[in-house]
């Protein structure tokens, strides 16, 4: 591969540890890498700084705790050269650097929550590329102003949805979003994600953000439907999942996740819908 065929931009978003020092030391030894500082806190701000710094016509994003496969650049170029996508995503698989508890299932990992399809092609309507493995035409990012700072992580604040918000806007303009199962990265499953409370909070925050990013309108009937679904789940699921306890690879922690994580998701939808309803009422009354 030609030495200058690609560049890797590391965006330091106000790190307080040795990240900047290590990244700069690495970049001095590798011409394809460079480090930039984005002082405005937030994942969307960092991602925007990335595409603004980029010299190429295409910009790919992976997370700071992810590993790209050895053929990542080649695969990305293959898609760019053979398809007419304006944006496309790929597979996001778990990486257990610190080991994996016996009870922890791959499906609990953030990495496996991404959308997957079997063949390369346009992504199914209403589905979007996952934020940790996505590629954009730089001209598209420029047209839409990149990612909205209203969404996404900000320091210790757990928030999501910035990539969906942007892709919905792209989709609304009739541009083509694609998916390639051969474009793969491995995402670190940190040890704190083995905590049951974290898994519940993650589902709550994900669904809360989903309402604001991906739900065009809400009604009071929406709240009733959410409560109905939550009630149905809590009546049936404890007994249904309890049957799995007879298997040697199913533990009480699995039962807790399978029963209470969906409830946390329903609560997130309820709170998000209620907030949106009250916000809409406030705007309407002004």
CA dist list (Å): 33 to 11, 41, 76, 121:
11, 22, 18, 31
Q: What is the DSSP string of 205-248?
A: HHHHHHHHHH-S---HHHHHHHHHHHHHHHHHHHHHHHGGGGST
pLDDT given for residue 114 in this prediction: 59
Q: What is the DSSP letter of 66?
A: E
pLDDT given for residue 151 in this prediction: 87
Interatomic CA distance for residues 156 and 168, integer angstroms: 26
pLDDT given for residue 285 in this prediction: 36
**What is the set of domains in the chain, with CATH numbers?**
8-193 (3.90.550.10), 195-285 (no CATH)
Q: What is the pLDDT along the chain (286 residues), one digit of tens a residue?
A: 445 678 999 999 989 899 899 999 999 998 889 999 999 999 999 999 999 999 999 999 999 899 999 999 999 999 999 999 999 999 989 999 999 999 999 989 864 455 788 899 999 888 889 889 999 999 999 999 999 998 888 877 777 889 999 999 999 999 999 999 999 999 999 999 999 999 999 999 989 988 888 777 788 999 999 999 999 999 999 999 999 999 999 999 999 999 999 999 999 999 999 998 888 754 433 3
> For the chain, where are the E strands, in sequence order?
8-12, 33-37, 58-62, 66-68, 87-95, 121-122, 133-137, 177-188
Decide if 61 contacts 134 (C-beta within 8 A).
yes
- The set of residues, in sequence order, having a beta carbon less than 8 Å from that of 45 and lying 6+ positions away, is 13, 38, 149
Q: What is the pTM of this model?
A: 0.85
pLDDT given for residue 283 in this prediction: 40
pLDDT given for residue 7 in this prediction: 92
The closest of 144, 197, 200 to 175, measured between CA atoms, is: 144
Interatomic CA distance for residues 261 and 206, integer angstroms: 11
Nearest 10 degrees: CA dihedral of 244, 246, 249, 254?
40
């Amino acid at each position: 591969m030609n030495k200058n065929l690609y560049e890797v931009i590391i965006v330091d978003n106000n790190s307080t540890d040795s990240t900047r020092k290590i990244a700069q030391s690495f970049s001095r030894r590798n011409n394809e890498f460079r480090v930039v500082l984005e002082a405005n806190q937030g994942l969307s701000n960092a991602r925007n700084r990335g595409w603004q710094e980029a010299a190429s016509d295409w910009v790919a994003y992976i997370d700071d705790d992810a590993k790209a496969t050895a053929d990542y650049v080649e695969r990305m170029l293959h898609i760019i050269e053979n398809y007419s996508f304006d944006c496309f995503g790929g597979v996001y698989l778990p990486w257990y650097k610190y080991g994996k508890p016996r009870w922890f299932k791959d499906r609990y990992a953030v990495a496996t929550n991404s959308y997957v399809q079997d063949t390369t092609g346009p992504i199914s309507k209403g589905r979007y590329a996952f934020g940790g493995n996505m590629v954009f035409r730089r001209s598209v990012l420029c047209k839409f102003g990149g990612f909205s700072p209203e969404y996404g992580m900000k320091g210790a604040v757990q928030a999501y949805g910035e990539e969906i918000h942007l892709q919905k806007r792209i989709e609304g303009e009739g541009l083509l979003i694609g998916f390639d199962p051969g474009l793969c990265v491995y995402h670190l499953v940190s040890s704190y994600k083995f905590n049951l409370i974290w898994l519940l909070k993650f589902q709550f925050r994900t669904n809360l953000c989903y309402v604001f990013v991906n739900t065009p309108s809400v009604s009071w009937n929406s709240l009733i439907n959410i409560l109905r679904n939550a009630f149905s789940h809590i009546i049936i699921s404890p007994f249904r999942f309890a049957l799995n306890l007879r298997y040697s690879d199913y533990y009480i922690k699995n039962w807790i996740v399978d029963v209470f994580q969906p409830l946390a998701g329903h609560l997130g939808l309820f709170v998000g819908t209620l907030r949106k309803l009250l916000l809409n009422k406030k705007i309407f009354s002004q």
